[in-house]
Amino acid sequence: MNKLIITCAISGAEVTKKDNPYVPYTIQEMAEEAYQAYNAGAAIIHLHVRHDDGRPTQSKLRYEKAIKAIKKRCPDVIIQPSTGGAVGMSRDERLKPTLLSPEMCTLDCGTLNFGGDDIFVNTENDIKYFAHRIYEKSIFPELECFEKGHIDLVLRLHKKGFIKTPMHFSFVLGVNGGMTGEERDFHFMRESIPMDATYSVAGIGKYEFSLAELSIKYGGHVRVGLEDNLYLEKGVLAKGNQELVEKVVQIAKSYGREIATPDEARQILGLRRI
């Protein structure tokens, strides 16, 4: 089987140090968490940045500083800035990290409820706009799909030329307002994408490791990290992103699946190295 690409979503935009003290805010904390995750086996760092007090931002300067600090610690790691940002941000605000031409970034492929009164808005026109801005800079998008309808929209937009091959999907399952992350959901999602597409699975909360295991078993890739889940096991907070990555590496070992280095991940996905 192909090697396993592990993505680590080290901070997100919504979780705080009150939820888990290891959630990184400062540039130094971001670099340290990324480095630890990379050492544990992560090839890709999914990156949101924060102000020092923890407020989420999509500031180009802040991303530039964080990326520089991370690259100093682990020069070959793939950095995947978020274009999702935080709920309520405008299109152009969310797109700011693309001005840095990273080799990869996220492209969120549909709207969904995000708990309480929050709605994470990604209209069809938003997606076309984001896709245009991403491809014009030759950035490789990870197609984040929170439910099956988002995959259908990607495939429609692909037919119309807005989304290009190779396609790499991220199934983000278990969001409060999106699709759950049960085994049947995983199979429904992976069977709905083209045969030549690749996919990674991000299980939110209690789904993190059960979905990771399924994806390892069926040849997909895995995302873990404090953005998605704060616990190493029920009731036990993870002492940083590294522990979450280590747990996935252990599961992969038990299935005889080797871990991809960043350069191997680039080959699997068809990425240019920066």
Binding site for ligand KMH (CB under 6 A): 12-14, 82-84, 86-87, 106, 108, 120, 144
Which tokens go with 208? 């993190």
Q: β-strands 56-57, 49-50: how paired?
A: antiparallel
Judged by beta carbon, residue 108 or residue 243, the one nearer ligand KMH is 108
Residue least distant from ligand KMH (Cβ): 84
Q: Vertex 168, ends 187 and 109: CA angle to 5°?
A: 80
Q: How far is the CB of 161 from Zn ion (least distance, A)?
A: 27
Q: Which listed option, ligand KMH, Zn ion, none, makes contact with residue 120 (CB within 5 to 8 Å by class)?
A: ligand KMH
Q: Which listed option, Zn ion, ligand KMH, none, makes contact with residue 264 (CB within 5 to 8 Å by class)?
A: none
Judged by beta carbon, residue 97 or residue 262, the one nearer ligand KMH is 97
Q: Which listed option, Zn ion, ligand KMH, none, makes contact with residue 38 (CB within 5 to 8 Å by class)?
A: none
Contact string 63-102 vs Zn ion (x = CB under 5 A): -------------------x--------------------
- C-alpha distances out from residue 137 to 5, 76, 248, Å: 24, 20, 33
* Residue 27 CB neighbours (<10 A): 18
Q: β-strands 221-224, 198-203: how paired?
A: parallel
Q: How far is the CB of 221 from ligand KMH (least distance, A)?
A: 16
Contact at 8 Å (CB) between 3 and 267? no
Judged by beta carbon, residue 7 or residue 257, the one nearer Zn ion is 7
Q: Which listed option, ligand KMH, Zn ion, none, makes contact with residue 86 (CB within 5 to 8 Å by class)?
A: ligand KMH
Cβ partners under 8 Å of residue 136, min gap 6: none
Q: Is 235 exposed, middle or buried (0-12, 13-18, 19+ CB in 10 A)?
A: exposed
Judged by beta carbon, residue 82 or residue 200, the one nearer Zn ion is 82
Contact at 8 Å (CB) between 181 and 203? yes
Q: Which listed option, ligand KMH, Zn ion, none, makes contact with residue 174 (CB within 5 to 8 Å by class)?
A: none
Q: How far is the CB of 195 from ligand KMH (least distance, A)?
A: 25
Contact at 8 Å (CB) between 56 and 48? yes
Q: β-strands 104-108, 140-145: how paired?
A: parallel
Footprint of Zn ion on this chain (CB under 5 A)?
Answer: 82
